[in-house]
Copies of this chain bind each other. A is one copy, B any other.
Amino acid sequence: MDYSKMSPAKVRQLIREGKITGQTSGMCDGYAQGNLLVLPMAQAYDFLLFTQRNPKPCPILEVGDTGSRLVKIMAENADIATDIPRYRVWEHGIMTGEYTDVSHLWRDDFVYFLIGCSFSFEGELLSAGVPVRHIEEGRNVPMYMTNIDCIEAGIFHGKVVVSMRPMPADQAIRATSITASMPRVHGAPIHIGDPEKIGIKDISKPDFGDSVTIKDGEIPVFWCCGVTPQSVVMSAKPPIAISHAPGHMFITDVKNSLLKD
């Protein structure tokens, strides 16, 4: 089955029926996918404030009404508790289970946060003729802990996590211009060039994801990464949190190109 040309509504329906339980990479060509985080209302204000203060690592696509599973802005007729192929449940910062449906766990004090994902800007880079190395090499994007502090908010604090894509200088300029116009999916790079300047000692050893080839004459370009909010939340150890499982995203009805604003 080729899901790349299928509509987001149809794919979400198959996910809801349990007929798709795998990763969503490559599904619904051109449509934005989002990271999920669900928190109880008691932690929601601090987290919403954290995202306001740190929009580059934590670009919000949509926040649900308290207790609501309904997605209103980014999709039609979508249920955040059933329309993601795989969820993870975290208790006090520790993963305690994976589920393909979390409607039985939903509480009326839960708030969901849908967070923008670099899949969206990679689509725009490829359309603009900027190749993306880890896609070429069939790997996960390399990600690194930096020495850059997030601005803290209530219980949430930590370092910025970045993703890295190597490219020649002319492409780095084009990639900066394209992503600068997409603030809802991490925006412009946070750093270009020397990894040590942001506390990365060995570029060949990412903290998450896979290493990729950096060719002669290429410079590493670093973007804030959606792993930041998840790592910050897990280290704050809320009594309960629900996230998507890595690579198993929420597929929205909004085209990546419309995230330019």
Stretch of A43-51, A80-88, A214-222, A245-253 at the chain-chain interface:
A43-51
Residues of B with C-beta under 8 A to A151: 72-73
- The answer to whether A160 has its CB under 8 Å from any CB of chain B is no
* Residues of B contacting A44 in the complex (Cβ-Cβ under 8 angstroms): 45
Contact digits for A60-76, partner B, Cβ 8 Å, 1 yes 0 no: 10010110000011000
Indicate if A183 sits at the interface (CB-CB under 8 A). yes
A52 interface residue (CB < 8 Å to B): yes
Besides the known contacts A48-B48, A49-B63, 13 further A-B residue pairs in the complex with CB atoms under 8 A apart: A41-B45, A45-B45, A48-B49, A48-B52, A51-B52, A52-B60, A53-B73, A65-B154, A66-B154, A72-B151, A73-B151, A180-B261, A183-B183
The complex is assembled from copies of this chain, and their number is 2
Query: A187 in the interface, Cβ–Cβ < 8 Å?
Result: yes
> Across the interface, which residues of B come within 8 angstroms of A175, CB to CB?
none
Cα of A166 to Cα of B99 in the assembled complex, Å: 56
Report the Cα distance A52→B180, complex, angstroms: 19
Among candidates B52, B53, B63, B188, residue contacting A53 with C-beta atoms closer than 8 Å: B63
> Given the complex, which residues of B lie within 8 Å of A52, measured CB to CB?
48, 51-52, 60, 63
